[in-house]
Amino acid sequence: MIHRDALVFGSPHGGALRLSNFRHRVWYPAVKGTDFEGLRIHDLRHTAASVLIYQGSHPKIVQQHLGHSSIVVTMDR
C-alpha cells in the first residue's frame, strides 16, 4: 500500500488515484474554459524538460528527472 502522504493526488478513500479518474475528476474541470483547454497531462513533462534546459540543467539531470532510458531519448525529444 502506498503511504497517503506520498501521493500528490489521492482518491477520496485515500488510495492511489487512477489516471482516467484523475483526468475526469481533476484535470478536465481544472482546464475547462481556460486557455489551457486541450492541454494533456503528458504535455507537462515536456514543459518540465524545457524549464530544466532553460535553467541550464545538464542533459543527464533532465534524463534522470524524466526517467528516460537513455540520454538519446532525452536529446531526441
Domain boundaries, the chain: 1-39, 43-76
Q: Any residues with CB less than 8 A from the CB of 25 and at least 6 apart, and which?
A: 17
Q: What is the pLDDT of residues 6-56, one digit of tens each?
A: 777 777 787 888 888 889 988 999 999 999 999 998 899 889 999 999 999
- pTM, whole model, 2 decimals? 0.65
